[in-house]
Amino acid sequence: MNNQLTKDDLPGQQKQLTTALWPIAVARMLIGILWLYALRWKLPPSFDGRGETSLREWLELAVEHAAVAPYGELIESLVIPNFAVFAWLVFVAELLTGLSLLTGTLTRAGAALGLALSLNLGIAMLDVPGEWPWSYVMMAMWHLLFVLSAPGQKWGVDAWLTGNGTPSSTVRLLTSTPKD
């Protein structure tokens, strides 16, 4: 195909500025597994911890050690009284994020959801004893990287979604596909 370039065709400086997508794709899949693995202690319909700290216990810890007072009050007054609704929301959001990142499907959308979840976790766990807040900073940063780059284009369904014909603007947006 005459519109193909090889790395060897790029000017020297540009070669050095480009980034291999494969480590980002590996990280995307690992973080997808992370989200799915974390579901094991918040499975419906009981959402109990199955021997580990349960979702409800984590919420109670977030209230007890709230770093941002209004956030703790919100959890206490809105989330815990309506636990089942929010537990389902958390479960579905983490499931969708995990599947999106693991398979590289609509990766920008999945990463944006993962970014929101990571920031929420970071705020909730900031002052909880034994938690290392930088873990959540790192998680948020990875999801931001997935939003900014196109990790689903490597070993992902996004490459297939955008590889046949001209993808719609919505698909382009949700998959971080660059314009031709």
Partner 1 sequence: MTTTSPNQIGIETEAGQQKGSVAVALLRITLGVILLATWWGNIGDDFYTADGFKGFLDWLVLSGEEGGNGSSLTFFHDLLDATIVPVAGLAAFGQLIMEGLAGLLLVVGGATRLASLWSMGFFAILFLSYFGGEEWIWTYVLLFMAALTVFLGYGGRQLGLDQIIAKAKGSSFGGLIW
Kindly list the residues in this chain that would bind partner 1 in the complex (CB under 8 A): 1, 3-8, 10, 13, 16-24, 26-27, 30-31, 34, 130, 132, 134-135, 137-139, 141-142, 144-145, 148-150, 153-155, 159-160, 162-163, 167, 176-180
Q: How far apart are CB 66 and partner 1 at their closest, in Å? A: 20
Q: How far apart are CB 57 and partner 1 at their closest, in Å? A: 16
User: What φ, ψ does residue 101 adopt, rounded to 5°?
Assistant: -75, -40
Q: How far apart are CB 117 and partner 1 at their closest, in Å? A: 14
Smallest CA-to-CA distance from 147 within 101, 93, 95, 109 is with 109
Which of residues 79 and 153 has its CB atom nearest to partner 1 in the complex?
A: 153
Residue matched to tokens 């990766």 = 107
Q: How far apart are CB 32 and partner 1 at their closest, in Å? A: 12
Report d(CA 133, CA 4) in Å as an integer: 44
- Yes or no: say if 111 and 146 are a contact pair by the CB < 8 Å rule: yes
Which of residues 77 and 168 has its CB atom nearest to partner 1 in the complex?
A: 168
- Yes or no: say if 50 and 40 are a contact pair by the CB < 8 Å rule: yes
